[in-house]
């Protein structure tokens, strides 16, 4: 794992479910070379955990404010920490494991 890698944990609110938000987030993360996951939460928000180069993660965070073409993002709550290196790819998670 690159020591410069960071972790972004974001909760995206607004009209972000049923608008291909997870699909487009995955495409953007893959384009940026980021690993992690995206998940639809029961409260109608979308959760994103991503790791990679800090500049790439900042680009993803900026993208999350717009989202997919049909989305209407009203907020992004972002928290930063050190990367753990636990991910190999970026994927959609359909059920969170506790």
- Cβ of 70: how many Cβ atoms within 10 Å? 12
DSSP state of 83: -
Active site residue 40: yes
Of 2, 15, 31, 40, which is the active-site residue?
Answer: 40
Closest by CA to 78, choosing from 96, 94, 87, 65, is 65
Cα separation, 69 vs 21, whole angstroms: 8
Of 2, 7, 22, 41, which is the active-site residue?
Answer: 22
Active site residue 2: no
Q: What residues are labeled active site?
A: 22, 40
């Amino acid at each position: 794992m690159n020591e410069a890698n960071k972790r972004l944990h974001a909760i995206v609110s607004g009209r972000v479910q049923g608008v291909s938000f997870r699909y487009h987030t995955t495409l953007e993360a893959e384009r940026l070379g980021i690993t992690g996951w995206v998940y639809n939460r029961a409260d109608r928000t979308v959760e994103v955990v991503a790791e990679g180069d800090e500049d790439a993660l900042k680009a993803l965070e900026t993208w999350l404010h717009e989202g997919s073409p049909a989305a209407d993002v009203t907020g992004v709550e972002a928290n930063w920490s050190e990367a753990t290196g636990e991910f190999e790819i970026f994927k959609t998670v359909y059920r969170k494991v506790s």
